[in-house]
């Protein structure tokens, strides 16, 4: 076991952009260490600068390969990149990363790229919370671009990517006639579509199918809707005003880097659009509102647990069993004790 770094020192290192401090801070958040909240709290004032890009799509569409190529592309512009792969089967965790195109584990000593994978073992809400916090830590550590990869299956995973500033949905041809993104309910959350594996047969058809879907489905209007009620409250910008974002469908060949420069351009264009249209703040509002909600729920759940012992709970159930108390009265009694 390496010596445990004191929290204060860890925070200083993190804010200095030290990779080791970042790695350890993320571990503490992931493990729910007792100083996890303190770390996130200290980091928070230094967040809100990075462009957060979610990359999602059906399993095996080439998300990790694309993330890798994209990171390399950003590096050519001198931008630093943090990568969070929310995926237990991620090749990032294997050490020898993604073949030889980009050796991100070392990135041959490139301080400008930092990759972290997060296991899904914490599951559901825990995973969403740990990911959201890890992303804040990346941001506080000063990364310019943060890429978060999640597999587009399962609500928790999809939502982690869906609350990014910019969402890339990755599609691949040759997985049957169906557009995978539709099946997975990803059509609504895309700001950009990448039809990856465009070196394969059927890519054109996939592009055409997606474009048709976007035309009939209302394109930018969906983007407005998908970020939830807070966006609507901020006023809906329609295509008519000329301010809308039209969702591009881009072909990429992640393994060779083909089309990745165009993808980067689209992401940068979306970033600019978010800022100029005021949407950047809307997306952040949605993220922060979710975070607040989950923290409040955690806190209340913990207090509820503490307010009533296991024995007291059992006793109530026994009384219900004897029909001495009905479920509603029992619930009221629990809440009353909790509120005392
Ligand atoms: N032909 C071709 N193969 C690709 C391309 N991009 C990725 N692949 C291959 O597709 C396979 C899956 O790639 P990954 O990047 O691991 O896909 P993923 O979407 O991250 O997979 P999961 O995280 O498991 O859902 C690998 O064997 C890649 O080499 C591409 O553009 N063309
Ligand atoms: Mg992957």
- 79 neighbors 144 (Cβ within 8 angstroms): yes
Q: Is the CB of 62 within 6 Å of ligand 1?
A: yes
Q: What count of other Cβ atoms lies within 10 Å of the Cβ of residue 1?
A: 3
Phi first, then psi: give them for residue 295, nearest 5 degrees.
-70, -40
Compute the distance from residue 240 Cα to the ligand 1 centre, in Å: 38
DSSP symbol at 258: B
Return the ligand 1 atom nearest residue 85 CA.
23
User: What would the mean pLDDT of 17-36 be, rounded to a whole number?
Assistant: 93
Pocket test for ligand 1, best of 255, 256, 259 (most atoms within 8 A of CB): 255
Which residue owns the Cα nearest ligand 1 atom 17? 62
Compute the distance from residue 325 Cα to the ligand 1 centre, in Å: 58
User: What would the mean pLDDT of 323-340 be, rounded to a whole number?
Assistant: 91
Is pLDDT above 60 for 235?
no
* Neighbouring-strand partners of residue 85: 117, 149
- 174 neighbors 80 (Cβ within 8 angstroms): no
Which ligand lies nearest to the CA atom of residue 63 in the structure?
Answer: 1
Compute the distance from residue 84 Cα to the ligand 1 centre, in Å: 17
Tell me the pLDDT of the chain averaged across its residues. Answer: 84
| CA dist., res. 326 & res. 322, Å (int) | 10
User: What would the mean pLDDT of 14-42 be, rounded to a whole number?
Assistant: 94
Highest average pLDDT, of 202-216, 247-261, 286-300, comes from: 247-261
Which residue owns the Cα nearest ligand 1 atom 29? 255
Weakest mean pLDDT among 103-107, 183-187, 302-306: 103-107
Is pLDDT above 50 for 321?
yes
Read off the pLDDT band of 227 (50, 70, 90).
Answer: very low
Phi first, then psi: give them for residue 81, nearest 5 degrees.
-130, 130
User: What would the mean pLDDT of 222-238 be, rounded to a whole number?
Assistant: 38
pLDDT, residue 1, reads 57
Place of tokens 């089967």: 89
Question: How far, CA to CA in Å, does 103 sit from each of 24, 92, 95, 321?
Answer: 22, 10, 9, 62
Tell me the CB-side half-sphere exposure of residue 58, using CA atoms within 13 A: 18
Which residue owns the Cα nearest ligand 1 atom 3? 197
Question: How far, CA to CA in Å, does 94 sit from each of 39, 97, 112, 113?
Answer: 28, 7, 20, 17
Q: Are strands 145-151 and 249-251 parallel, antiparallel or unpaired?
A: unpaired
Q: Is the CB of 60 within 6 Å of ligand 1?
A: yes
Q: Give the angle 306-309-314 at the CA atoms, nearest 5°.
A: 140
The SS3 of residue 177 is coil
Compute the distance from residue 149 Cα to the ligand 2 centre, in Å: 7
Pocket test for ligand 1, best of 57, 58, 61, 62 (most atoms within 8 A of CB): 62
Q: Is the CB of 180 within 6 Å of ligand 1?
A: no
pLDDT, residue 170, reads 95
pLDDT, residue 272, reads 97
Highest average pLDDT, of 116-125, 204-213, 221-230, 232-241, comes from: 204-213
pLDDT tens-digit profile of 162-212?
889 999 999 999 766 677 777 777 888 999 999 999 999 999 999 999 998
pLDDT, residue 298, reads 87
| CA dist., res. 76 & res. 36, Å (int) | 34
- 71 neighbors 97 (Cβ within 8 angstroms): no
The residue among 249, 153, 231, 261 whose CA lies nearest residue 195 is 249
Compute the distance from residue 314 Cα to the ligand 1 centre, in Å: 51
Which residue owns the Cα nearest ligand 1 atom 10? 62
pLDDT tens-digit profile of 72-83?
999 999 999 999
Compute the distance from residue 160 Cα to the ligand 1 centre, in Å: 20
Is pLDDT above 90 for 260?
yes
Question: What domains sit in the chain, N to C, each tagged with a CATH number?
Answer: 1-46 (no CATH), 48-277 (3.40.50.300), 308-339 (no CATH)
pLDDT, residue 2, reads 63
Q: Is the CB of 120 within 6 Å of ligand 1?
A: no
Residue environment code for 216-255, b if the CB has 16+ CB neighbours within 10 A, otherwise e = eeebbebbbebbbebbeebeebeeeeeebbebbbbbbbbb
Q: Are strands 51-57 and 81-86 parallel, antiparallel or unpaired?
A: unpaired
Weakest mean pLDDT among 70-79, 89-98, 136-145, 188-197: 89-98
Which residue owns the Cα nearest ligand 1 atom 8? 62
């Amino acid at each position: 076991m390496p010596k445990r770094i004191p929290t204060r020192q860890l925070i200083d290192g993190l804010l200095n952009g030290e990779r080791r401090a970042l790695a350890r801070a993320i571990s503490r958040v992931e493990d729910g260490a007792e100083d996890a909240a303190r770390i996130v709290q200290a980091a928070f004032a230094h967040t809100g600068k990075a462009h957060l890009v979610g990359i999602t799509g059906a399993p095996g569409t080439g998300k990790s390969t694309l993330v890798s190529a994209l990171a390399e592309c950003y590096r050519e512009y001198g931008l630093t990149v943090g990568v969070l792969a929310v995926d237990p089967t991620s090749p990032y965790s294997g050490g020898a990363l993604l073949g030889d195109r980009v050796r991100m584990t070392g990135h041959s000593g490139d301080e400008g790229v930092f990759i972290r994978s997060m296991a899904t073992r914490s599951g559901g809400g825990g995973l969403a919370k740990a990911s959201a916090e890890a992303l804040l830590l990346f941001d506080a550590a000063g990364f310019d671009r943060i890429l978060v990869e999640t597999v587009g299956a399962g609500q928790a995973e999809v939502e982690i990517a869906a609350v990014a500033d910019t969402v890339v949905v990755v599609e691949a041809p040759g997985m049957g006639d169906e557009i995978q993104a539709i099946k997975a309910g990803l059509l609504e959350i895309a700001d950009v579509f990448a039809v990856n594996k465009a070196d394969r047969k059927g890519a054109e058809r996939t592009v055409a199918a997606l474009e048709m879907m976007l035309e009939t489905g209302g394109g930018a209007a969906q983007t407005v809707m998908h970020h939830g009620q807070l966006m609507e409250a901020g006023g809906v910008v329609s295509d008519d005003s000329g301010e809308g974002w039209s969702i591009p469908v881009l072909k990429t060949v992640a393994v060779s880097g083909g089309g990745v420069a165009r993808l980067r351009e689209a992401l940068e264009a979306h970033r600019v659009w978010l800022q100029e249209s005021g949407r950047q703040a809307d997306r952040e509002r949605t993220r922060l509102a979710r975070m607040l909600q989950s923290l409040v729920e955690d806190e209340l759940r913990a207090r509820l647990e503490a307010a009533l012992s296991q024995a007291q709970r059992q006793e109530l159930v026994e009384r219900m069993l004897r029909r001495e108390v009905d479920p509603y009265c029992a619930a009221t009694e629990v809440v009353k004790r909790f509120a005392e």
